[in-house]
Amino acid sequence: MQILPKILWLVVLLTLTEAAHSANRNALSSGRWEQTSRWSGGKLPACGDSIIINAETTVEISSTLDFSLCATPLHIKIRGTLTFQTGKKLRLPCNSSVTIESGGLITGGSGGGHSNLIDICNATVWNAAQGDLPGPVVLQFNPLPVELAYFSVRPESDGITLSWITLSEVSNSHYVIEKGKDGVHFEELTTLAGAGTTTHLSSYLVTDKNPFEGLQYYRLRQVDFDGQSNLSGTLAVNWNSLHVFQIYPNPSTGELFANLDPQLIGQTGKLIINRADGKLHMLREIKVESTSYGVKLLKNREYLKPGNYMVSLNFKDHNYSQVVIAK
């Protein structure tokens, strides 16, 4: 029997050890990532784990977390909020992914510059200077043939828009954009030419003008010139052709956005925010500009102190209200 080199045995041993101990880790409550009691099983997330930050839960990274030497990837799903203290970083190994689901959010927290960041496979896929990142979005990095840094699906006034960014591509012929109703069975929506071989950033944009009603799923199939293909992560998004209303992120850590009826584009209404005791916190006009999706509700330097609020938007023929939690 051929004797494997010691370093190869070490890699094999590490991989088998990580696979044996990988687990699902759920954030049980809001607070610092580094607190053992924060996580299911009473253990901190480790190499190979699948990590879930549940809705209405805010997890703060208060020290640099470096998993880059792990032999197996980590997969993080954010349904609540992931935030950072100033200068802190999250470093993940190759083939890891960070999925921000609808209603989820990554925020720079107490630092808004380039120092708060997420690295995957030694490539920065997000930093705080880019601003808060609401879902649905997938952040990932695959060494070859395509370095997919960003993948997003969002409802817009004319359909569901898919956008993605690659850092480099090798022998990339084209993309097949696929959609489905159950996240298991997919059909081809359209194809889009790839960039061949390039080390430059490439951006892509496609709009599905005939989405299914309700929940649906999208993914990318990247196809090489030799016919080999690779799949991206899958993203889910809701579409309601009659009424798409949502205020997010909720809980909020400093910003508020709203999805409204497309008929309101160009209209001016009133934004009313009342505290839990019924006292008025804010009253002013708000105009829906070129899109009714992702309407920014709070201006610069406007903020909500921690607590519960009733946020109302009143237009001539449309009135909306939603309870929002500020943290």
Which CATH number do you get for residue 212? 2.60.40.10
**pLDDT, tens digit (0-9, with 9 covering 90-100), for 213-264:** 778 899 999 898 888 888 888 888 777 665 567 788 878 877 888 888 888 8
- Exposure of 151 by Cβ count < 10 A (0-12 exposed, 13-18 middle, 19+ buried)? buried
In a shared domain, residues 184 and 310: no
Based on the fold, state whether residues 268 and 212 are members of the same structural domain. Answer: no
Mean pLDDT of the chain: 84
At 102, the amino acid letter reads S
Instruction: Write down which residue in 212, 239, 266 finishes a domain.
Output: 239
Q: Which of 239, 260, 276 is the last residue of a domain?
A: 239
Confidence of residue 7 (pLDDT cuts 50, 70, 90): very low
pLDDT tens figures, 130-183 = 888 888 888 887 654 677 777 888 777 678 889 888 888 888 899 999 999 888
Q: Pick the last residue of a domain from 204, 223, 239.
A: 239
Domain total of the chain = 2
Task: Let me know whether 187 and 293 are in one domain.
Answer: no
Domain ranges, residue 261: 246-326
16 confidence band (pLDDT: 50, 70, 90):
very low
Asked if residue 101 has pLDDT above 80, the reply is yes
pTM to 2 decimal places:
0.51
122 found inside a domain: yes
What's the pLDDT tens digit per position in 47-100?
999 999 999 999 999 999 999 999 889 999 999 999 999 889 999 998 899 999
Instruction: Give the Cα-Cα-Cα angle 235, 134, 91 (nearest 5 degrees).
Output: 85
What distance in Å separates the CA atoms of residue 7 and residue 86, rounded to the nearest whole number? 37
Q: What is the pLDDT of residue 121?
A: 85
Residues in the chain: 327
